[in-house]
Homo-oligomer: A and B are copies of this chain.
Amino acid sequence: MAGEEGFVVTPYEVRGRIDYDRLRELFGTQELSPAILDRLRQMAGGDLSPLLTRGVYYTHRDLPALLDLYEKGTPFFLYSGRGPSGPLHTSHLVQFEMCRWIQSKFHVPMYIQITDDEKVWARGRLTREQTAQWGIENLVDLLALGFDRRNTHVFFDTKSIRAMYPLAVDVAKRISYSTVKAVFGFEPSTNIGLVFYTALQTVPCFYPSWKTGRSVPCLIPCGIDQDPHFRVSRDIAEGLGYPKPALLHSKMLPGLLGERTMSTTGESKDNALYLNDSPAEIDRKIRNAFTGGRATVEEQRRLGANPEICSIWALWKTGFAKDDKEFEEVTRDCRSGALLCGECKERIQSRVHSFFSVHEKAKETVRSWAEELIIQEAAAQV
């Protein structure tokens, strides 16, 4: 997005203080209105994910049409992906927790893409062996969130390429260099792998339709920064005879150091809680985390703190509060000055430890499943 806005949001760069309303206008996405949220709650049997109630997800493309089809008996599938450039951190889990929740309520298939090829192309220092290794580790972390064993599929790019490639050929034929240059801001020095890559990222959007010969709608929960990727997919969908993927966009999460986003400032390990951090590292990072607190205790007791800019509040918001009641309590006490930052940090430390410990156990139960899930069959159409 244009620099004149004072912020930049592309799939490869997020910079500046993002004005989310303006970003929605610029991207042309639709507001996730109270009416849509009510409809989702109803369809989900009266429950609604905290990621939806708390505004972590805030815009969409074509969600109501997708829900219409679902109600008429055409279920959609979920698609999300991970570029395995290193260990996951807690913010990476947000998209997948959104998917898990939707899958658990709507009983729909989930497709996870592990883009080990892309990360070789996008990160000069990473080798194929390294991204493949991280790919397996990341996949185990994601599956440990609790996806439906009978309804989850994995594209692991270098391992699933035989199944994906024929469709990627059809997709790539319809995307020009000038399109990817404009969307991703590629330079002449960009390698030809990265230029090609968006074709492979589009494959899962259409794969179930291609394989079954029926029109299978796709829903992609993703960070708003990934919207341009899938605009390309949406633009070519009709020409290939497949439905346009619907999108559900989250805001970017602030890093522990107060950066605007965790995922694009990943060079500082202290900016996020990585799933392979030790308990001592977690404690240290949380102790040093940027908050919305005041300069002195006295001032904070008097004026209250500002959760909106606080990296710890973002953690409560995206999953570490045990329920809406606790989240509202924390938020209220933060604003009023009743809850000081030190106390708040101590409380969340124990929540993070217990999440990490449960997660570690869950990983062991899915490790062998991970390898089984990787789609390796050849496409019948070849």
Chain A positions within 8 Å of B, measured between CB atoms, are 117, 120-121, 128-129, 132, 158-159, 161-162, 165-166, 169-170, 172-178, 180-181, 186-193, 195-196, 198-199, 376, 378, 381-382
Contact = CB atoms under 8 A, between A and B. Distances in A.
Given A128-B381, A174-B191, 14 more contacts: A128-B169, A128-B170, A159-B378, A165-B165, A172-B191, A172-B192, A172-B193, A176-B188, A177-B186, A177-B192, A181-B188, A192-B196, A192-B198, A192-B199
Contacts of A191: 172-177
A306 to B, nearest CB: 44
A189 B378 CA distance: 31
Contacts of A169: 117, 120-121, 128, 158, 193
A274 to B, nearest CB: 25
A165 B158 contact: yes
Contacts of A120: 169-170, 173
Instruction: Give the residue among A158, A175, A178, A192 with the most B Cβ atoms within 10 A.
Output: A192
Contacts of A381: 128-129
A176 B193 contact: no
B188 A382 contact: no
A213 to B, nearest CB: 14
Contacts of A121: 169, 172-173
A169 B172 CA distance: 16
Nearest to A172: B193
A170 B124 CA distance: 11
A191 B171 CA distance: 10
Which DSSP category, helix, strand, loop or mixed, fits chain A's interface?
Answer: helix
B161 A177 contact: no
Contacts of A196: 172, 192-193, 195-196
A176 B189 contact: yes
A129 B382 CA distance: 7
A169 B156 CA distance: 14
A343 to B, nearest CB: 49
Contacts of A198: 192
Given A159-B382, A161-B162, A166-B128, A173 B190 contact: no
A177 to B, nearest CB: 5
A198 B196 CA distance: 12
Given A158-B166, A158-B382, A161-B162, A178 B172 contact: no
21 contacts: A117-B165, A128-B382, A129-B381, A158-B165, A158-B169, A161-B162, A162-B376, A165-B165, A173-B191, A174-B191, A175-B191, A175-B192, A176-B189, A176-B191, A177-B192, A177-B195, A180-B192, A192-B199, A193-B196, A195-B195, A196-B196
A195 B199 CA distance: 12
Contacts of A376: 162
| Cβ-closest 10 pairs across A and B | A172-B193, A196-B196, A178-B188, A162-B162, A161-B165, A117-B169, A176-B189, A175-B192, A192-B196, A195-B195
A193 B173 contact: yes
A382 B177 contact: no
A161 B178 CA distance: 26
Nearest to A182: B188
Instruction: Give the residue among A162, A174, A180, A188 with the most B Cβ atoms within 10 A.
Output: A162
Contact of A192 (B132, B161, B195): B195
Contacts of A181: 188
A381 to B, nearest CB: 8
Contacts of A199: 192-193
Contacts of A177: 177, 186-192, 195
